[in-house]
């Protein structure tokens, strides 16, 4: 498969034909993909919104970062800076 920068692609097929499996394999880098290329796989559909696709992804990423920051603050307060759980939060 060869994809060109700046192009948009659709992945169409019958239910069960392997679309999700292909996307998961790409996200897991089971194909040779240069390391400088970021890959993000959303496992669920986006709710209806007025945001564009990129804006929605950025907004959701910001919300997740905020959630993780609050979790890290709570763990730091409860268990201290050497907490293994805290290290796991930063490895996510």
User: What contacts 59, CB < 8 A, 6 or more positions away?
Assistant: 51
Higher pLDDT, 80 or 45: 80
Residue 92 pLDDT exceeds 60: no
Q: Determine which helix (DSSP H) or strand (DSSP E) holds 48, and give its type and residue range.
A: none
CA-to-CA separations, 87 to 67, 76, 82, 84, in angstroms, rounded = 15, 10, 8, 5
Average pLDDT estimate for 11-18: 90
Q: What pLDDT, in 10s, does the model give residues 18-72?
A: 999 999 999 999 999 888 888 888 777 767 888 887 888 899 899 988 998 999 9
Rounded Cα–Cα distance for residues 74 and 85 (Å): 11
Domain coordinates of the chain in residue numbers?
Answer: 19-91
Per-residue confidence (pLDDT) for residue 30, from 0 to 100: 94
Rounded Cα–Cα distance for residues 36 and 27 (Å): 14
């Amino acid at each position: 498969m060869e994809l060109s920068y700046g192009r948009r692609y659709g992945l169409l097929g019958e239910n069960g034909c392997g679309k999700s499996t292909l996307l998961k394999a790409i996200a897991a880098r089971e194909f040779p993909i240069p390391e400088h290329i970021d890959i993000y796989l959303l496992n669920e559909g986006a709710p209806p919104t007025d945001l564009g696709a990129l804006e929605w992804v950025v907004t959701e990423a910001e919300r997740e970062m905020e959630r993780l920051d609050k979790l890290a603050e709570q763990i730091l307060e409860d268990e201290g800076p050497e907490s293994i759980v805290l290290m796991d939060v930063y490895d996510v």
